[in-house]
A = this chain, B = another copy of it.
Amino acid sequence: MTTHDNAAASRRTGGYANGRARRQQILDAAMNLFGDVGYRSASLREIAARVGISHPGLLHHFPTKEALLLAVLERRDEIDTATLQEDSDDGVELLRRVIDIVALNTHRRGVVELYTALAAEATSATHPAHDYFTQRYRHTLAAVTRAYRLTHEQGHLRDGISPAAAAAQLVAVMDGLQLQWLLDGGRTDMTGVVREFIAAQLTVAL
């Protein structure tokens, strides 16, 4: 039905609606397989089979396996970075947004699997996403450090906590909890533990 509607729409618009829909299907399938077995062990044939095309068919949309990887990362990055980069001078408000991301991730197992698998894989200097993750962590840590610095300036950060160390801790807690959450079948209360962690650093209620 959907396919028929899309085909009709394509005829109507004369555009590339089908191609765009197919690309989305491929990106979704690639995200899931990369998350399950990592980039290196994932095969283009398996991804193609999951969307019902041949693997040369897939390569028509993404010229190489590496291009597919970068497209998956680019697409999946938008939400999280936007959330933290949105301008705000309220440190505690920014930390609340971090908690919101954690809560959101609870309902996006595929995304969590993707980043857990790829971040670990990309610590290898020869991995095609090595530079991507190196920069991603640098930016994330800078943004979270800023949130804690603002919190400190507003007098809401506990004494003896340095913004840089607090940021390294928070980012680490989030990554580490995702690992625990994936390993124990979603029983870990990621949101609750992160909230408790941040609350213990502040002198005000969250």
Contacts and interface: CB of A to CB of B under 8 A. Distances in A.
Interface of A: 36-38, 40-41, 113, 116-117, 119-124, 133-134, 137-138, 141, 158, 160-162, 165, 168-169, 171-177, 179-180, 182-184, 188, 192-193, 196-197, 200-201
A124 B36 contact: yes
Contacts of A162: 196
B184 A177 contact: no
Nearest to A141: B180
A175 B179 CA distance: 8
B169 A193 contact: yes
20 contacts: A37-B124, A38-B120, A116-B120, A117-B121, A119-B179, A122-B183, A123-B183, A134-B184, A137-B183, A141-B180, A162-B196, A165-B196, A168-B188, A171-B176, A172-B175, A172-B179, A172-B180, A173-B173, A174-B176, A175-B176
A55 B158 CA distance: 57
Q: Sorted from nearest, which 3 A-B pairs have the closest CB atoms?
A: A172-B176, A120-B120, A175-B176
Number of this chain's copies in the assembly equals 2
Given A134-B184, A168-B180, A180-B171, A117 B113 contact: no
Contact of A137 (B36, B40, B169, B184): B184
A157 B16 CA distance: 61
A160 B120 contact: no
A41 to B, nearest CB: 4
Contact of A173 (B133, B172, B184): B172
A167 to B, nearest CB: 10
Interface centre among A121, A138, A173, A188 (most CB of B within 10 A): A173
A200 B161 contact: yes
Nearest to A116: B120
A200 B123 contact: no
A181 B184 CA distance: 25
Contacts of A160: 200
